[in-house]
Amino acid sequence: MDTKALLETGGKHLMAFTKRAPIALVRGEGMRVWDSDGKEYLDFTGGIAVTALGHSHPRVVGTIREQATTLMHVSNLFHIPQQTHLAKLLCDHSFADRVFFSNSGAEANEAAIKLARKWAKEHGASDRGDIITMRGGFHGRTLATVTATAQEKYHHGFEPLPGGFKYVPFNDLRSVERAIDSHTAGIMVEPIQGEGGVNIPDDGYLPGLRKLCDEAGVCLIFDEIQTGMGRTGRLWGYEHSGVAPDVMTVAKALANGVPIGATLATDEVASAFAPGTHGSTFGGNPFATAVGLTVLTTLIEERLPERADRMGRLLVAELEKVRARRGAAVKAVRGRGCLVGMDLVPPVADVLGACRDRGLLVLTAGDNTLRLAPSLVLDEKDVARAVSIIDEALGTVAG
């Protein structure tokens, strides 16, 4: 089936849940992917911040081959060595004591919401169930996590939505302080808002949330689904703030493309889950956790968070030069590690299309932000090539 026929058949038989680019990707290696016509692209989407190690990383491919021919799934009715080893490695390199594995970021956030509410009811008052989230955040597509996502465009048509969520402006401690009351069970926040526009909070924001949670006796939940696994230049985004959460969610890059989610917590909060209170059939199976173990080990051994920090600083510096050249077409450039946003004046969809035509794949975020989330294995040549294409695309679109 050629590309034209593939797109037409997909248009007839796939549910229309997203606006797809008019290309079909069939192969990947490192920072590059190829479409069904053989055209090469430099991938600065990272599969939406998933392929931290790049495409077809040899260690990941080796683990997939070995585990697929050994044991893929047994369910959580039995002990799973790979799951245990990955949980220990995650705890050894974070604030957490315990881990619950699921299949996606949304499921990880669902578990975090349930955990915070159950802990609050057991250690506070029985009517504590509200979760405070930040406007512009993104926490998933299930009914509870889409409700936690304080963006009305994601709610439209799905009403009635589950209760128990309150929204406040991002990076505004006073609003959080006013929103906390006797019904509050937890606060959920991304250390950097990714989908919302690559919004980086002030230095005192996350420490301020930590203080408010401690004073109110409620859980602080960090959604690190996009910022975790080295993307911001540290293994976890919260490490930039100097404070740790009670609960953290991880997914996307954890297995470099193999579906997996994880909810990490302190011993105290994790104690709210007992056998039978939560569960997953597929979550943490031998296949997904074996790959996750390889990915996390590789990130640590090859010091890829430090590489992300260096390449991210270079990328922002080079994009600032583009901003200086293109004048009013670029309003701002910001980022941390390999998560960078560029606020544009011309329609971001037009710039994205112009980049794709020139062999660069990028993302959008927020109202009109170009989002770059490349794999952490990129080098200086990749940065130079991407910036050159973005500059040229802006010149074409903005004139």
Q: Which active-site residues does the annotation give?
A: 138, 223, 252
Nearest 5 degrees, angle CA 255-CA 234-CA 66? 20
Strand pairing category for 165-168 and 184-189: unpaired
Q: Are 377 and 44 in contact (CB under 8 A)?
A: no
Question: How far is residue 293's CA from residue 56's CA, in Å, rounded to a whole number?
Answer: 16
Which residues fall within 8 angstroms of residue 330, CB to CB, at 6 or more apart?
Answer: 319, 322, 323, 342, 343, 344, 345, 394
Which residues fall within 8 angstroms of residue 356, CB to CB, at 6 or more apart?
Answer: 21, 23, 41, 362
Nearest alpha carbon to residue 106 among 231, 250, 9, 206 = 250
Nearest alpha carbon to residue 148 among 97, 185, 173, 118 = 185
Identify each DSSP E strand in the chain by its residue range: 25-29, 32-35, 40-43, 98-102, 130-134, 165-168, 184-189, 219-223, 247-250, 261-265, 330-335, 340-344, 360-361, 363-365, 369-372
Q: What share of the chain is helix, strand, coil (3-state, %, to 5)?
A: 40, 20, 40
Give phi and psi for 60, each to the nearest 5: -70, -45
Question: How far is residue 35's CA from residue 28's CA, in Å, rounded to a whole number?
Answer: 9
